[in-house]
Amino acid sequence: MRKATALALSALLSLTAHGFTGAPKVDFNSGTGDWRIQAPENDPENGWRTWVDPNAGKDGGAALHSQLPVIWDATWVNTSSAVTGDLTKVGSVNFSFDLHTESFVYLFNGQEVTRDVVVELRSINADETFSSVFFNVGTTGADKGWQHFSATISDTSSAALPTGWSGFSSEHGSVLPDGVTFTDLLKNVDEVRITTSVPGMFYGDAYVDVTIDNISISAVPEPGTLASMVAGLLLIAGYRRRLKG
């Protein structure tokens, strides 16, 4: 029994020691799950407002609703230990969420526009420069209703950028710094972002009314870790059955 318990605990600790564990779906019915909009503080008198809207969700429940009168993008950020840290400690990661854009008006001409939707993982340096990898999951706009988006890293041990993923650096532009691989960045993720701006691109100011819901970041353990967990749990289950018998 002690050996089985040790196996299971060792596997679980290998997943949690680095911080990143993935996060259950955030549907905003029980809070924000550490997600926040990157925008000026709430100022309802001047039109700035972000709140958990109790009836705005995709399935009729709550969602995070933002009205941003003069901004170039809508960006949601999570820096909690559950979704940052060393992502290479798991085998694969999936990011998914639902988005509804009520309005995205380009202020220069007053026209509704469509914008790219991006999942971005940032690693921030001590001098506040950063490098990131990102995946463009599609486009959003006022006429699209609720949209479901997702991005997957199928192999976190890949040194090369997987298909669909791109690199960016605030110092080097649309490439990762010399010598930094995809895996290197995944080992030091400080922020997970969902954003309507492609890193490195310039956008004009817009009025944005947008709602996000059902954010999920799911992690699949590495095969060896998963095997240890299963073996340990099976040994525990077998021991308990023998005790009952």
Question: In this predicted model, what pLDDT tens digit does every residue of 108-134 receive, in sequence order?
Answer: 999 999 999 999 999 999 999 999 999
User: CA 128: distance to chain centroid?
Assistant: 20
Confidence of residue 193 (pLDDT cuts 50, 70, 90): very high
Cα distance between residue 157 and residue 100, in whole Å: 34
- Within a domain: 177: yes
Is residue 242 situated within a structural domain? no
**Residue 76, in any domain of the structure:** yes
pTM for this predicted structure:
0.85
Residue 189 belongs to some domain of the structure: yes
Residue 130 domain-assigned (yes or no): yes
> Computed from CA positions of residues 166, 15, 30, 35, in that sequence, does the dihedral angle turn out positive or negative?
negative
* 9 part of a folded domain: no
Which residue is it, tokens 């209703």? 145
Helix 223-244 with 2-16: angle, nearest 10 deg: 150
Looking at the domain assignment, is residue 152 inside a domain?
A: yes
Indicate whether 45 belongs to any domain: yes
Closest by Cα among 70, 72, 56 to 211: 56
- Give the phi and the psi of residue 230 in degrees, each rounded to 5: -65, -45
Residue 173's pLDDT band, with cuts at 50, 70 and 90, is very high
What CA–CA distance (Å, rounded) separates 215 from 213? 6
* CATH code for position 121: 2.60.120.260
Burial (0-12, 13-18, 19+ Cβ within 10 Å), 127: exposed
pLDDT of 137 over the 50 cut? yes
Task: Name the H helices within the chain.
Answer: 2-16, 182-186, 223-244
Count: domains in the chain: 1
Q: Binning pLDDT at 50, 70 and 90, where does residue 3 land?
A: low
- Domain residue limits at 109: 19-219
